[in-house]
Copies of this chain bind each other. A is one copy, B any other.
Amino acid sequence: VKINSCFKKIFFVIISFLVFLFYSEAQTPDSSVIRSIYNEALLNGKSYEDLRELCKNIGARLSGSAQAEMAVKWSEQKMLSYGFDKVSLQPIIVPHWERGNTEVGWFQIKDKINKVNLLALGGSIGTNGLISGELIEVNSLEELKKKNSKDIKNKIVFINQKMDDTFIQTFKAYGSCYPIRGNGAVEASRLGAKAVIIRSLSLSKNEHPHTGSLNYNDSIQKIPAAAISTQDAEQLSTAIKNNQVTFSFEMDCRLYPESPSFNVIGELKGIEHPDEIITIGGHLDSWDTGEGAHDDGAGVIHCLEALRIFKSLKLKPKHTIRVVFFMNEENGNAGGKSYAKISSEKKEKHIAALESDRGGFAPRGFVSDGNENELKWMQSIAINFKNYDLHVFDKGGGGVDIGPLKNYFPEIILFSFVPDSQRYFDFHHAPSDVFENVNKRELELGAAAIASFIYLLDKK
């Protein structure tokens, strides 16, 4: 009898568990709202045409450029046209660097000239006319740092670190190569190099060079730095194995005085806690090549569309949902830093923020920097997304634009939208990051996923 009663209790635990499983799979009021959100994005969505306008009517929009200011005006008008409660421009100061008109390079082995496709790294100084030198190849920053300055002095350093194909998440492969772009110029100059050339940070082998920001160090001589295409990097590396190679290039890029620019902000006022803010956003600026379609046209359009869907479906958020198009993520992050600082100065209450800056690909899910309880909440809402092919609800970082909020609002929870990462580095910072490489449905599904996630977060 004792055992019997005990088994009954175990049986009860198991049954309760099964009942819980059953209910958690059943239709919920949330599931019909989420279905409406997806239908709005897929049937009446504006995201694809909005992205087309941003890419085709404006195009590349590096901070400080006329195109970036055109993008600011366009964004303001777009938010106004969607009837958001409050649309404003937040003044910031951004760097203004231009690559200029001349950008050409080649390598020479004996009497053979081989042109390479290159792009100055963002922020690089120009070459002040043609610059030539013996090329020396290293495969990582660590290898470079171990070199003697006599081996490097007056040479051009070629850092040929290949992104690791075996990382399933391509951002991890990018992260491990990022230092060659960020710090290659400083480390090469420290040893007396006259310039640095890096292999583009891309997993695909093709003819497109990929730019991106570099860092200089005020105490180290600035030297010019450029990225060559992965295809050219492979050819150059083969050539250099058995030959002395001379590399020559010219770039007339230069830094101009800082200019005024803006974050663009729109919001839907919360009906229960209007003073508590959930920020969603991406960055409006892009590199000066391609059209900034995936990076980060898709991200700002995702968030714009998410708020438009709320408005269109008359979903009244409890908290204020604010969409922010950050300026200057690519080369300074003035937008993200200023937004956080001004929010703090205004004594606003920021409870959460979500960033979309990983491209407009098919959604996989969301990551959060929250604690165990927050992760449990994320996992508890996963069931709502099973039929929408979202399955990533894990720990992870927020993003560059929203990151500074954490410094002023330690309690804030940061989220990042996670689309599939496989194709991202085919296009990232390259001439190929154009509208045509964004798929309409994948973009729309991203906007719907973000709107649905924010809907659940707001009512949590």
Contacts and interface: CB of A to CB of B under 8 A. Distances in A.
Task: List the 3 closest pairs (A to B, CB-CB), nearest first.
Answer: A391-B391, A6-B6, A42-B165
A388 B43 CA distance: 32
Interface in A1-29: 2, 5-6, 9-10, 13
A21 to B, nearest CB: 13
Nearest to A7: B9
A204 interface: yes
A362 B166 contact: no
A344 interface: no
A341 interface: no
Nearest to A205: B440
A147 interface: no
Given A10-B13, A43-B166, A168-B388, 4 more contacts: A13-B13, A38-B168, A389-B420, A423-B442
A364 interface: yes
A387 interface: yes
Interface string A91-111: 000000000000000000000
A440 B166 contact: no
A203 B6 contact: no
Interface residues of A, number: 33
A353 interface: no
Contact of A6 (B9, B39, B442): B9
Nearest to A42: B165
Interface in A395-451: 420, 422-423, 426, 439-442, 445
Of A6, A43, A439, most buried by chain B (CB within 10 Å of CB) is: A6
Interface of A: 2, 5-6, 9-10, 13, 38-39, 42-43, 165-166, 168-170, 203-204, 362, 364, 387-389, 391-392, 420, 422-423, 426, 439-442, 445
Nearest to A167: B42
Contact of A389 (B38, B39, B364, B441): B364
A22 B362 CA distance: 30
Contacts of A165: 42-43, 441
Number of copies of this chain in the oligomer? 2
A387 B168 CA distance: 8
Contacts of A392: 389
Q: Which DSSP category, helix, strand, loop or mixed, fits chain A's interface?
A: helix
Contacts of A166: 38-39, 42-43
A166 B392 CA distance: 22
Contacts of A42: 165-166
Contacts of A362: 362, 420, 422
Contacts of A387: 168
B420 A420 contact: yes
A280 B394 CA distance: 34
A338 to B, nearest CB: 36
Nearest to A448: B168
A293 to B, nearest CB: 16
A168 B389 contact: yes
Given A13-B13, A168-B388, A204 B5 contact: no
Nearest to A9: B6
A385 B168 CA distance: 11
Nearest to A40: B166
A458 to B, nearest CB: 23
Contacts of A13: 10, 13
A269 to B, nearest CB: 30
Contacts of A169: 389
Nearest to A422: B441
Contacts of A6: 2, 5-6, 9
A5 B203 CA distance: 59
A435 to B, nearest CB: 13
A229 to B, nearest CB: 16
Contact of A2 (B5, B39, B388, B389): B5
A440 B392 CA distance: 23
A165 B444 CA distance: 11
Contacts of A440: 204
